[in-house]
Amino acid sequence: MATVQSDDTGASQAGSAGTVTERFRTVRDTLLTHRLDIDAARRDFAWPEFEHFNFASDWFDPMAEGNDDPALWIIEGDGSEQSWSFDQLRRRSNQVAALLRRAGVRRGSRVMVMLGNRVELWETMLAGIRLGAVLLPTTVQLGPKDLEDRAVRGEADFVVAAADDAAKFDDVDHPVVRVVIDAPASGPGEGAVAYADAAVESEDFEADGPTRADELLLLYFTSGTTSKAKMVAHTHVSYPVGHLSTMYWMGLEPGDRHLNIASPGWAKHAWSNFFTPWIAGACVVICNYTRFDAAELMGVMERVGITSFCAPPTVWRMLIQADLGTLRTPPQKALGAGEPLNPEVIAIVEREWGVSIRDGFGQTETTLQIGNPPGAQVKPGSMGIAMPGFDPVLIDPATGEETAEGEICLRMDPRPLGLTTGYWGDEARTAEAFIDGVYHTGDVATKDADGVYTYVGRADDVFKASDYRLSPFELESVLIEHEAVAEAAVVPSPEPLRLAVPKAYVVLRGGFEATAETAEDILRFCRENLAPYKRIRRIEFSDLPKTISGKIRRVELRARERELHGEAGGVPSTGAVVGSGGAGAAGTAGAPGTSAADGGDPAGEGAGVREWADTDFPSLKR
């Protein structure tokens, strides 16, 4: 067994007694007891105060020792599968911790964890936590250039990776010790360590001492929707204990089988595939696939008995295109995360499965701040109410005053435990995020009289058109209701009179073609379902640029619009072709205040931008 490191008593928390494990369990059980009563949960909940805490030895091990219930269940795309009990993972991660220590990993060592959804990922995470190492979760999709940036800025000492991914570091100009999984028979390479050697290590592990609660544990690289990825720092309590709020939102209970669709290397994977389920004592279920198949996924859910399911909007939108009725026993806990989910999708799932998809709001920098917990009445389109332990406030960026619509900020008195300590190596950005005594999320929302929050958008995504403030998410929610639209992103398109007009980039569903007729039909649909000042004025059929974690990079689309239509909206870039389907060379690109979409000549030959404007269609001018 592993030695439990911490034995804090009530001295570190007034009025409490018992070990760290007992105190953590008491707080967790308070939330489980009140899982259907948010008012009681907020009344009785307080963040535990720990001087020392180690998630592996102080929580996972006491729960896992002798526990043969499944903790991790992985189903591969070829139909093969394997599961591991809590006790198996406890013993295996002890062996991996011993291997890493023998390789030179010490408390504070920086370890890049570059693994897909395979058991070694969970073993390595637990092992690194035991050792007091600083973990840098890294997606396997990165190439040498991005890996070098992360290794250098993150000051990486080690990397744990499969052989093919470890080989990428041949072209990385930063020295790291490689711990190689699936190493060839000839060995892992000079200076490298074979992960398989962990099998001969002892299943008992003793740490070098207690882990301070405020020690650095995780450095997460954000997905960079508007800027270069930041390094978000988390301690041994901000994520491992902070995700108590996430557990409450999800409604997870001991024995649940929780399936979450997320890629390793990103914060959501740690949220839903590591900390939160194991705080609750639930089983993490993984479905690996090379190509998404809704029918196959639902078949797995039926066979495995999934009780809780969380997925990003893209997956939910693909699911509703299949026959949801084929899943005879749908999960009773359905969650959306990553970006807001459109009300139309929520309505279809509720009709077919009899369960409401519950949205929530959090960031890489935080655990779940705002959400729709089990038992709460979900208002369509809302992201919910404040979670226990969080005190959000909406601030008007112009005045700094509290308002009913503004930037989501977190009050810091008391400071919520599930909050980053800052951006590693960037004091200026950290200071900016915590200015004026609150934490600034950079996201905008509204709050009604019942304390229910509705997402508006990123502060840098909201835009003005004809002096009206418009939320891309609100317009996208209408677009997605059209039968031809699979995905959509709305950005401001420069226009001389209105400053900007809403333009939709649309991904079509199968069976629909990118024609003038389709564009006209979608624009007419928007005209019928949006107020005049909100109407989509331009449309283009195109794939959406996304971050590696799947978030839409609207910043690229906004930049593209400036190239097409000019900063003032009247001078497109040379060669840009807009309006009337976009076939041909630019018409009046040199004329100030006009573009093809504003009535210029769209005729010509050759490839161009496939954009239509509402002014292209006489039926929409009435």
- The DSSP line for 375-405 is TS-PPTT--BEEPTT--EEEE-TTT--B-SE
Report the distance separating Cα 239 and Cα 275, nearest Å. 8
Give the start-to-end residue ranges of the domains of the chain: 10-447, 463-620
Tokens in use for 325? Answer: 């009725």
> What's the sign of the alpha-carbon dihedral 359, 361, 367, 370?
negative
Instruction: Kindly write down the DSSP assignment for every residue of 68-111, as one continuous string.
Output: -SEEEEEE-TTS-EEEEEHHHHHHHHHHHHHHHHHHT--TT-EE
Yes or no: is domain 10-447 CATH 3.40.50.12780? yes
Q: What is the pLDDT of residue 370?
A: 97
Which residues on adjacent β-strands are paired with residue 308?
A: 258, 333
Q: Shortest CA distance to 551 belongs to which of 293, 285, 263?
A: 263
Residue 592 CA, chain-centre distance (Å), reads 42
Q: What is the pLDDT of residue 579?
A: 45
Q: What is the pLDDT of residue 2?
A: 52
Report the distance separating Cα 238 and Cα 216, nearest Å. 10
CATH superfamily membership of 463-620: ANL, C-terminal domain (3.30.300.30)
The reply to whether 10-447 and 463-620 are identical in fold is: no
Report the distance separating Cα 442 and Cα 366, nearest Å. 13
> Are residues 381 and 357 in contact, defined by beta-carbon separation less than 8 angstroms?
no
Residue 84 CA, chain-centre distance (Å), reads 26
Report the distance separating Cα 611 and Cα 580, nearest Å. 7
Q: What is the pLDDT of residue 464?
A: 75
Report the distance separating Cα 619 and Cα 610, nearest Å. 20
Q: What is the pLDDT of residue 228?
A: 63
Tokens in use for 510? Answer: 């199968």
- Averaged pLDDT in 10-residue chunks for the chain of 622 residues: 51 58 97 96 96 98 98 94 98 98 97 97 98 96 87 97 95 96 86 95 95 97 64 97 98 97 91 97 95 92 97 86 93 87 86 94 96 90 94 92 95 96 94 95 94 86 74 87 95 83 95 95 93 89 86 87 73 44 28 28 42 92 68
Q: What is the pLDDT of residue 589?
A: 24
If one counts every other C-beta atom within 10 angstroms of the C-beta of residue 4, the result is 18
Q: Shortest CA distance to 419 belongs to which of 378, 376, 463, 363?
A: 363
Tokens in use for 229? Answer: 């990825």
First to last CA, the chain: 76
Q: Shortest CA distance to 215 belongs to which of 234, 196, 241, 228?
A: 234
